[in-house]
Amino acid sequence: MTTLTWYGHATLGLETGGQHILIDPFFNGNPSATVSPDKVQADFILVTHGHGDHIGDTVEIAKRTGALVISNHEIAGWLGNQGLKTHGQHLGGGYKHPFGYLKLTLALHGSALPDGSYGGNPAGLLLTTNDGRKLYFAGDTGLFGDMKLIGEEGLDLAVIPIGDNEALRAVKLLTPKIVVPIHFGTWGLIAQDPAAWAARVEKETTTKAVVLKPGGSFEL
């Protein structure tokens, strides 16, 4: 069984095969977060890019839990210099971790680290769990045509940031069985009506849209 939890903004928890995974763990400073970083479990932490609202509390959580942090090589090196255990990957490269096979995908965004250091390329995450489920976490990205290629993997779940019609077009390219919207409502700049967006998804595609509230979970 695989369980997805949305902690608000772009912060996610994934429990699969007995492993606890955090994605972009931004709790402190996240007005929609329902827990504090000292209360979450993590065997692994996945970081899509270097922006502060995504790398967030990675250092604090990894030092407390001993979690392995997985990101691109530049971010892995930056975090490794702070004493964390890290595993660096590159776009298109895959690796078999204890929780499944993980590839970094293209994402159209920036990736500067909080201190201004170069954060390498932003990434999405394509995970094949040990029981064969295909999960795609888009990270922060605009629409790009190769989403169609990612969709050809046969996605059981896509987790995408929602904005205007581009997010709907992304679903049409990805064709996942289920989509979960994130990265909305944290601040006025990214205000969105997720229910209205989900209704359009289900009207215009065959994808089921699952809208979570911060702290809410969904079982695959």
pLDDT tens column, 83-113? 999 999 999 989 999 999 999 999 999 999 9
Tell me whether residue 160 is in a domain: yes
- C-alpha torsion angle, residues 48, 145, 129, 61 (rounded to 10): 10
Residue 42 lies in a domain: yes
Count the domains in the chain: 1
Could you tell me if residue 220 is inside a domain? no
Q: Are 28 and 9 in contact (CB under 8 A)?
A: no
Q: Would you say residue 216 lies in a domain?
A: no
Evaluate whether residue 219 is within a structural domain: no
Write down the residue that tokens 């209360």 correspond to: 39
What is the rounded distance in angstroms from the CA atom of residue 41 to the CA atom of residue 21? 8
**Within a domain: residue 217?**
no
DSSP track, the chain: -EEEEE-STT-EEEEETTEEEEES---TT-TT-SS-GGG---SEEE-----HHHHTTHHHHHHHH-PEEEEEHHHHHHHHTTT--EEEE-BT-EEEETTEEEEEEE--S----TTS------EEEEEEETTS-EEEE--S----TTHHHHHTTT-SEEEEE--SHHHHHHHHHH--SEEEEES-SSSGGG---HHHHHHHHHHHSSPEE-PPPTT-EEE-
Any domain includes 168: yes
Domain interval for residue 95: 2-211
- The span from the CA of 141 to the CA of 159, in Å, is 11
pLDDT tens-digit readout, 7-40: 988 999 999 999 999 999 999 988 888 899 999 9
Question: Does pLDDT of 191 surpass 80?
Answer: no
pLDDT in the model for residue 186: 58
CATH code for position 99: 3.60.15.10
Asked if residue 218 is part of any domain, the answer here is no
Q: Which two tokens stand for residue 70?
A: 């997985």
What's residue 185's pLDDT?
Answer: 61
Contact between 71 and 88 under an 8 Å Cβ cutoff? The reply is: yes
pLDDT (0 to 100) of residue 187: 44
Share the mean pLDDT of the chain.
94
